[in-house]
Structure 1
Amino acid sequence: MDNSMCLKEFQQKVDNVLIRHRSALDILTKLQESNAKVNRAVAKSATYCGCTQLHIKKLEVPKDISFSEFRDYASDHIEGTPCEMCKEKIEQEISNNFFYLVALCNLLDIDMQKLLKDFYKNQLETLGKYGLL
């Protein structure tokens, strides 16, 4: 697979290879399961491997700042970067999750390329940071 493969091709390929889990319940539960595996892979990079550390704490944000300044006070709560082994596992789980998301779109006759294009135009460009509240 080269870098020029479009999302539409990927969506068609998913439709062609998905044989066993074609029902709505199968796809929904596999999507839920794969999402949990993404979360677990990220958590294991901190709890088992230790290549990352999660420092979860309440954000201390002054009350008198503008919405645009909020980013300066926000934190992703992660220190470090995943080692190669953890990164590979996280990527694998995200790929599986994406596969089932695309399968759900196929089931509902949703064009992923159009979906992302519309989201980009209507949410990211038009509403910008205010569209994701």
Structure 2
Amino acid sequence: MKDIIIDDFQNAVSESLIRHKSILDIMTKLNESQSRINRAIAKSATNCGCIKIDAEKQKLPNDCSLEEASKLLSYQITGKLCDNCREVLEDEIGTELYYLAALCDALNINLFDVLLKEYKNITTLGKFSML
């Protein structure tokens, strides 16, 4: 069922993409959507203030295991997105997904297959998948 939803989403994107059908348009719109996500997160902290970003070097003991590291490391965010900031971010992430699906379609890549492959990598390698 989930593969049908993702495939249907990719097909709907393909059918609706007219104005930015060029691969160059898709690439730049994908980049722009990522920038808009970053901006929305920054505005949540600086303009709204619903979240606070406490970014600093994360310290781990030298003898720390991967299990301990995942418990000690944080996203460095305090607070909770307000409804308005959450809605803005959801819209921007939706746009990102739209152009990601468009990119996959333009290059004849099935988005579900990419997600499935990445899921298998994560579940097989666990914490080692992104080292």
Fold agreement, TM-score > 0.5: yes
Please state how far the C-alpha of 1:4 moved relative to its aligned partner: 9.7
Within 5 A, what are the aligned runs for 1:34-73? 34-73=33-72
1:109 corresponds to:
108
Indicate the percent of aligned positions where both proteins have the same amino acid: 43
Could you give the per-residue CA deviations for residues 79-119 of structure 1, whole angstroms, max 9, x where no partner exists?
A: 01110000000000000011001100000101111111121
Of residues 124, 127, 131 in structure 2, which corresponds to 1:126?
A: 124
Tell me the matched-pair count: 130
Please state how far the C-alpha of 1:69 moved relative to its aligned partner: 1.4
- Counterpart contact for 2:3–2:112, Cα < 8 Å: no
Instruction: Tell me which amino acid in the other structure corresponds to 2:111.
Output: M
Unpaired runs of 5+ residues, structure 2, are none
Unpaired runs of 5+ residues, structure 1, are none
Superposition CA RMSD, Å: 1.5
Which 4+ residue blocks in structure 1 deviate beyond 6 angstroms? none
Within 5 A, what are the aligned runs for 1:6-45? 6-45=5-44
Once residues 81 and 117 of structure 2 are traced to their aligned partners in structure 1, the CA distance between those partners, rounded to angstroms, is 32
Once residues 60 and 45 of structure 1 are traced to their aligned partners in structure 2, the CA distance between those partners, rounded to angstroms, is 26
**Equivalent position SS for 1:6:** helix
Instruction: Tell me which amino acid in the other structure corresponds to 1:105.
Output: C
**Greater helix percent: which structure?**
2
What TM-score do you get using the length of structure 1 for normalisation? Answer: 0.93
Instruction: Tell me which amino acid in the other structure corresponds to 1:85.
Output: N
- Counterpart contact for 2:26–2:102, Cα < 8 Å: yes
Please state how far the C-alpha of 1:68 moved relative to its aligned partner: 2.1
Within 5 A, what are the aligned runs for 1:81-120? 81-120=80-119
